Structure 1
Amino acid sequence: MLLALDKVTKSYAGADGPVPVLSGIDLALDAGETLALTGESGSGKSTLLHMIGGLDTPEAGTIRLAGQDVTALDDRGRAALRRGTVGLIFQQFNLIPSLDVAANIAFQARLAGRHDPARADRLADALGLRSQLRKYPEQLSGGQQQRVAIARTLAAAPALVLADEPTGNLDEATAARVLDQMLALVSETGAALLMVTHSAALAARMGRRAHLSRGRLA
């Protein structure tokens, strides 16, 4: 089992006291599995991904990833986990302005010690970025920047890809190509994919689906 959540709980401070967001979440994901996570806005989907990726911590419960207890790691340990094990794709592109597209795509893979020029080239071609490789982020549209961010994550071949509405800025055809590349990575490397999406069409292509409502998974 690659990922295991056991009774994960999270709440935020509100004007009238704590506001529950996640209430005893249990979730398991094996290597090679794909899971679509759906739910209303504000249901806690992004919070859940942030905690799995070590960007936030639960109030209770445990998160184990690739044999490590994520909830027991310090800041350095969580950073190492994101560098080598988890790939994060969020709607904020977080590209490096001083690097061109080619260098941005290679950045995470170089940090992880897994830079593969052939894989980076395949991703650039598949995501329609071949003609953009020498441009800088400020010269790209929002959709192009999103594709660069996705390519950067996939180029590092992480064990687990966490994707939060990764195709939100893309048209339907491009979104389908992006998912093709994510599923190809899972098939090629044995990675797992956990994707938050509002798209019924994209969710239907995933191996499993789970719905988050009122702090619980169904």
Structure 2
Amino acid sequence: MILSLSGIRKSYSTAEGIIEILKGVDLSVAAGESVALTGESGSGKSTLLHLAGGLDQPDAGSIFMNGRDLGQFGESERARYRRSDVGLVFQQFNLIPSLSVATNLSFHAKLADRYDAAWERQLIEGLGLESYLGRYPEQLSGGQQQRVAIGRTLAARPPLVLADEPTGNLDEATGDAVLDLMLSLARNAGSALLLVTHSSRLADRLDRKVVLHGGRISE
């Protein structure tokens, strides 16, 4: 298993008191496997992705990535993990405004020492970004920025891809093309893909679908 979560619990303090979002989540994703994470709004799907991505820590439970316990990581190890081992596709694009689209696309891949020009060309064509390579993020629409953010993540061929509604700002045809590239990466590079989606149509294209309900996972 590339990703293995066991007994994950997470609570947050609110004006109304402590709210437990995750109440003992168990979930594993194997190399080359794609898993759709579904559930109603507010069920903790994004929280779960943030924990798996090393952006936050659980109150209880363990998260293992390729056999390594994230709970034992210091801050520098967490930063290295986010840079090299996991690809994050969230609603915030986080593109570097001073870099062109072309440089944004290759940035993480070069940082992780996994730059592959042929794979990048495939991503550029698949995402329809050929005409935008010389532009800067502020010159792009929200949907175009989303495509660049997805391409930047996939360019580094991360062992684990965590995606939160990655096609939410895209039309159906472009969304399908994005999912095709993600599934291609999972199959060909042996990456694990955990994707949050509200679309049953997209979820049905993945290997497996799990539901987060009542703070726990069901299949």
TM bucket, shorter chain: over 0.9
Q: 2:201 corresponds to which letter in structure 1?
A: A
Q: In structure 2, what is the Cα distance between the partners aligned to 1:49 and 1:68?
A: 17
Counterpart Cα distance in 2 of 1:28 and 1:114? 25
Partners in 1 of 2:99 and 2:14 — Cα distance? 41
Pairwise CA distance, 1:10 = 0.3
* 2:64 is the alignment partner of 1:89: no
CA deviations on 1:155-200 (whole Å, 9 max, x unpaired) are: 0000000000000000111100000000011111010100000111
Quick one: percent identity of the two aligned structures?
Answer: 60
Following superposition, the deviation at residue 14 of structure 1 comes to 2.3
Unaligned residue ranges in structure 2 (runs of 5+): none
Residue equivalent to 1:167: 167
2:5 aligned counterpart, secondary structure: strand
Cα offset, 1:76, TM superposition: 1.0
The CA RMSD measured in Å over matched residues stands at 0.8
Query: Which residue number corresponds to residue 58 of structure 2?
Result: 58
Residue pairs, 1:68-87, within 5 angstroms: 68-87=68-87
SS of structure 2 residue aligned to 1:95:
coil
Aligned residue for 1:26, secondary structure, equals strand
Across the two proteins, how many residue pairs are aligned to each other?
A: 218
User: Residue type matched to 2:114 in 1?
Assistant: R
For residue 85 of structure 1, what is the amino acid of its counterpart? D
Q: Does 1:153 align with 2:128?
A: no
Counterpart Cα distance in 1 of 2:131 and 2:111: 25
Of 91-100 and 66-75, deviating more is 66-75
Q: TM-score if structure 1 supplies the norm length? A: 0.98
Counterpart of 1:205? 205
Q: Is the 8 A contact 2:33 2:187 kept in 1?
A: no
Q: Distance between the aligned counterparts of 1:170 and 1:9, measured in 2? A: 33
Is 1:188 the counterpart of 2:170? The answer is no
Displacement after TM superposition at 1:75 (Å)? 1.4
Deviation at 1:2, TM superposition (A): 1.0
Amino acid of the structure 1 residue aligned with 2:38: T
Runs of 4+ in 1 over 4 A off after TM superposition: none
Any idea what SS the aligned residue of 2:63 has?
strand
Alpha-carbon distance in structure 2 between the residues aligned to 1:28 and 1:185: 18
Alignment of 1:80-159 (within 5 A): 80-159=80-159
TM-score, normalized by length of structure 2?
0.98
2-side partners of 1:28 and 1:122: how far apart? 29
Structure 1's unaligned 5+ residue stretches are: none
* Residues 15-41 of structure 1, C-alpha deviations (whole Å, 9 max, x = no match): 343101000111111101110000111
What residue identity is the alignment partner of 1:48? L
